[in-house]
Structure 1
Amino acid sequence: MHSNRLPSLLLASALPLVAPLGMAAPEVTAEQAVAAIEGVFGVTPGERRNHTKGTCATGEFVGRPAAAAYSRSALFSGAPVPVVARFSLAGGNPKAPDTAKSPRGMALEFKLGDGQLQHMTMLNTPVFGAAQPQTFVDLMLAMKPDPATGKPDPEKLKAFKASHPDHLAHAKFLEENNPPTSYANSSYFGIHTFKFSDSNNRTTLVRWRFVPQDGERRLSAEELASLPADFLEQRLIERTRQGPVRWDMVLSIGEPGDPEDNPTLAWPENRQQVTVGTLTLSAAMPQKGAACEPINFDPLVMSDGIAASDDPVLHFRSQAYAASFARRLSER
């Protein structure tokens, strides 16, 4: 029903009905966004509406002393923090091919003790594909398959790209960069701007990414054409059996004038970079029945010392995740 190239236009995640203080209310609702995703991919009962195809992993995170200069979060205490991770492909197709030129996701739940949690929901693209929730919904509407062909109307996709310049940088990155050879060989970006606060309540604007110690590797043109539909999960499982797989958490420190509320705009590459911790995953497994399966990786679940910016897409994602979560719970 869906072309393998369809996900190349896809945004990262299903994008709250309530806008943060001082922001205009979104033109669309989270329920409309989730319904639009269902219009493209259909519904797999009991499963996530977006990033449906995924793999679980477990491990720990250890913060570095350098982080204390920016955040008082218990995430950076220096003690090992248990982590549940989920890797995924964008889109609502549970059988999406692992060669698809769509985003890959890494979602993390950090268990900080005393019931405190920290979530991070990241993509392997340095920018997002929508500056406003409306762009995401408009893309889903443009991608809805024509009943006669089972594929999107090319003219609708063309019109979408012509009328939504905020989507172009994301689409260009996906077109020019082949997918990773393994989940373990990809960087993952927080996409949005966040506010770190230290013990003196001094606030610093940051963006973060997780950089693989195994190095970044992308599929060749030959591999794109020849690999089977499913290989990412098995490669990650086999990699963790060989030994722990690690990513360094790297902060980019914002400067005045850097975009704070637009995830489609990258910060300049010369921003100060600070490594603030290391994620170590020691085991990976299919998601069915595993620890990551029931988690709603709400990006606004944050610990003291880490806070959201006014990015409307970040806030919209939170309630769209909740809408998707409610739907899949009702089907079980």
Structure 2
Amino acid sequence: MDKTCVILIGHGSKLSYNKETIEKLAETLRKRSKFDRVEICFMVRNKPAIPELLEKVVEQGMKKIVFIPTFLAQGVHTKYEIPEILKAKQEELGLKAKGVKVSYGEPLGSDERIAEIIEEKALKILGQKTKEETKVLESGKLAASTNMYKTSMSIIRPLISDTIKKAPETHVPIIERVVHTTADPEFANLVVIDEKAVEAGVAAIRAGAKIITDVKMVSAGINQARVKRFGGQIFTYLDDDRVIKLAKQESTTRSAAAMRLAIKDGLDNSIVAIGNAPTAAFELVEAVKQGLAKPALIIATPVGYVGAAESKEEVASLPVPFVIIRGPKGGSALAVAVFNALLGMAEKEAGI
């Protein structure tokens, strides 16, 4: 195989720092071991000069020689002078006849990676955290959060061990999440999971299904980036101008109107997460009964003493997979907990 040599071209300077910087770049490239040789040369003041080094590496048996100018933008040096120097030396040495290929690259240019370097330097001057420093900080926070979650689970599991033992294995992550969210072991016995709920929910998430939520509190608790990995999107209609108009026309609640609009826009094969409004649940129940909606899964956890318990029992009576919190207790955080448990299972199944 022909030997390859990459040569970095610097301008040259009276200051030693100039040459040292180019040499450091070359040394970094050498450590990456992508090329047989990495050398440096200069246009003026410093040695070796371009013609001198070209002749030397040819004598050393290099057959593919690539010159890269370490300049930011095109100028007289890079566009005219360097190409002319290379052309003249190639002709003098008769490199074409010797089977030596000399190539000349573009200056560094406006590469995004250079912009990142500039950004980092500016942030340091301003005393702000750089991208890498932020990553380190966030990874530390994530590790701390993960440790806290593991510690919480080690406390929770003995408290709900009887329920977990009786539950199907796939239901356990949901039960644990719900108890973790509420800090109340009683919820282990209040969460009701349809036998097809986990399979349906995980399949819908992996298929990139729409996620319909009744309030922003639910959508805010779901990690949209994780959902988007599967091609899914989260929709909350509550603040839609059409909803406000429809609620006035029909003399109904905004939550019911929002669900009606979601049904009209199409929510077949979607996951509907209702964490706050019983009226949204009742609206969905009627649509399913009339054959107007066929969601893949309904998560219903409305809270309150007026209609909440009844709406969830209505959901549980449908021929649709469901997860509910029985009774008046519930809330948006529980709808989020159930969904995130399913999302975690979908990621595990997908190997993410």
- TM (norm. structure 1) is 0.23
**Structure whose CA Rg is larger:** 2
Q: Using CA pairs below 8 Å that are at least 6 residues apart, which structure has the higher relative contact order? A: 1
Q: Under a length normalisation based on structure 2, what TM-score does the superposition of the two structures give?
A: 0.22
Structure with greater helix percent? 2
